[in-house]
Amino acid sequence: MNRISVRTPAKINLTLDILKKREDGYHEISMVMQTVDLCDELEFEEREIGIEIECSNHEIPCDSGNLVYKAANALKDEFGIQKGIYIKINKKIPLEAGLAGGSANAAGTLLALKKMWRIEATDDRLNEIAKSIGADVPYCTKGGTMLAQGIGEKLTKLKDLPDYHVVLVKPEFSISTAWAYNNVDIKNIKQHPDNEAVSRAIEYGDRAVIEKNLGNVFEEAAFKKYPELAEIKETLIKLGAKGSLMSGSGPTMYGLFDDEAKAQLACEHFRGIYDEVYKAKTCHQLIKE
């Protein structure tokens, strides 16, 4: 097997809570995450030596700073793989958007190369490698509907989220994860998301409770600096979204729709304002070959 192609989906946060800052500098978090079928496409071709990456988006580095490179290199180091690899990335997921596009690419690389190189590794070992690459990568190796805790590596599988059409709106600016964390006063968070209520509602398929309890502690500071994010959220609701939230550290805002026609109209509305607007659906399969 010397060629593999995979599609790696974006994720959205249904909840995102910060519990404390740890002594190692990381933050203890608790969040419910969900994959959506907005996907990047990755092609892998075996080479004699080295790691070569080509990307459709020229803003993305193709050197050792790329999470895909780090994932391939981590597997080579961990399992003594001598073969090389050429990886072509066709980006569809927007950059610096709070949608874990880079983490999903890294996760897809781990799983694709594990298969290509016939690596025998336990889930725990692969999870440790994923964790060393980035906090969202362990989740992205699983996908679907998950409660993530710790720094994101402690994963609990939840029942599949009821199906939704998802409209994603990414404004022209970006918000760095570091800025988001630095601007949250952890001791004075006004309202923590109710992860237990959301997890329970997912178990019972209770859409109304899920929609009512979407929550992200990064929103307050982000909305204060970028008021248009709050306006996007309000407009999504007015256009028929059953719930709306900022994903991750932002700035992408999304709306959950149970009516595809309304989702399409919302998409068309925002495409008249922003360049990066997407209509997707919730999905439960991570890597599609």
> Is 111 a known ligand-binding residue?
no
Residue 10: closest CA among 178, 139, 163, 180: 139
Q: What is the CATH number of the domain that holds 26?
A: 3.30.230.10
Last residue of a domain, one of 157, 188, 206: 157
> Is 56 a known ligand-binding residue?
no
**Omega before 94 cis (within 30°)?**
no
> Is 222 a known ligand-binding residue?
no
Residue 17 designated active-site:
no
Tens of pLDDT along the chain (289 residues) come to 689 999 999 999 999 999 988 888 788 999 999 999 999 999 999 999 999 999 999 989 999 999 999 999 999 999 999 999 999 999 999 999 999 999 999 999 999 999 999 999 998 999 999 999 999 999 999 999 999 999 888 999 999 999 999 999 999 999 999 999 999 989 889 899 999 999 999 999 999 999 999 999 999 999 999 999 999 999 999 999 999 999 999 999 999 999 999 999 999 999 999 999 999 999 986 655 5
> Is 94 a known ligand-binding residue?
yes
Task: Please state the pTM of the whole predicted model.
Answer: 0.94
Residue 124 designated active-site:
no
> Is 100 a known ligand-binding residue?
yes
Catalytic site residue from 11, 70, 142, 279? 11
Mark whether 142 and 27 lie in a shared domain.
yes
Mark whether 58 and 99 lie in a shared domain.
yes
Catalytic site residue from 76, 136, 233, 242? 136
